[in-house]
Amino acid sequence: MDVGRFFAEVTPAAAAAGFAVEQYGAAGNWPLLALHRPAPAGSPRLYVSSGIHGDEPSGPLALLRLMKECFFDDRCEWVILPALNPGALAAKTRENPAGVDVNRDYREPKSQEARQHLAWLTREKEAGRGRYDLTLLLHEDWETKGFYLYELNRTKRPLIGPAILAAVEPVCGVEQEPVIEGMEAHGGLITRSVDDLKDRQLYPEAIYLTFGHTDRSLTLEAPSAQELDRRITAHATAVRAAVAEWEKTGR
């Protein structure tokens, strides 16, 4: 992934797709961007993020592809954070340039990336824009052969993970191991009781969002062992399937 080229492309692509581009901070020489596509009052709000680990490039590139394909339309209000850790993306490392795993830094933040993201989330909340009907977080895993996901669901609506996995399976396969990252999995789907996660010492983005900003969060994991274009296609397919199933189950 050429990070300079990515930023050169994502800003005009976002503007062409109807997004306002906000730079909410900076990390090193790179901007931290929030892309916002407005919708009429009362519309559902969806949040999508990627690039929090720098050795996981398929998420940012999938969002860029979806933007160019005009996927982000008028069905809802979109909030996209396309590259939460750009210094790591440039270095191709999991951690930021200071050696911090930003996706474990949302409880007592030490990294400039997490601190600025949290400050932006707080400002959004204070402005009445801090709740999201669904959050999608795009990741990769180097240790698995197929796609899998985590679903946190505090609503009474059905899980949407199975429909996502069914859509992605023809693209890159689904991880079938019964234990993934030390957690019980069923056909690539990991679910947890949100309340059981409250006392964790290290908070990833997904847990922080679920406690303060959303009742439904999915972390989508593409298999890094597969070639990049396939991973990009898998993430784009997963996002499309997630939104379609979310609409089908009554939002």
Nearest to 245 by CA among 163, 156, 176, 171: 163
CB atoms within 10 A of CB 5: 9
Element (H, E) at 125: helix 112-126
Residues near 49 by beta carbon (within 8 Å), at least 6 away in sequence:
80, 81, 82, 84, 135, 136, 137, 138, 205
pLDDT cut 70: percent of the chain above it? 100
Q: Is the pLDDT of residue 215 over 80?
A: yes
Q: Is the pLDDT of residue 189 over 80?
A: yes
Model pLDDT, residue 197: 77
Residues near 25 by beta carbon (within 8 Å), at least 6 away in sequence:
31, 32, 112, 116, 117, 119, 120
pTM score of the predicted model: 0.96
For 178-187, the pLDDT digits (tens) are 999 999 999 9
- 235 and 164 Cβ atoms separated by less than 8 Å: no
pLDDT cut 90: percent of the chain above it? 90
**For residue 158, what is the DSSP state?**
P
Model pLDDT, residue 193: 81
Q: Which CATH superfamily is domain 3-248 in?
A: Zn peptidases (3.40.630.10)
SS3 (DSSP) at 30: strand
Q: Is the pLDDT of residue 223 over 90?
A: yes
Angle at 228 between CA 66 and CA 237, to 5 degrees: 35
Please, which pLDDT band fits residue 201 given cuts at 50, 70 and 90? confident
Range in 53-57, 63-67, 201-205 the model is least confident about: 201-205
Determine the Cα–Cα distance for residues 25 and 7; give it in Å rounded to an integer. 14
Q: Is the pLDDT of residue 194 over 90?
A: no
For 112-149, the pLDDT digits (tens) are 999 999 999 999 999 999 999 999 999 999 999 999 99
DSSP letters spanning 74-105:
TTSEEEEE--S-HHHHHHT-SS-TTS--GGG-
Please, which pLDDT band fits residue 1 given cuts at 50, 70 and 90? confident
Mean pLDDT of all residues belonging to the chain: 95
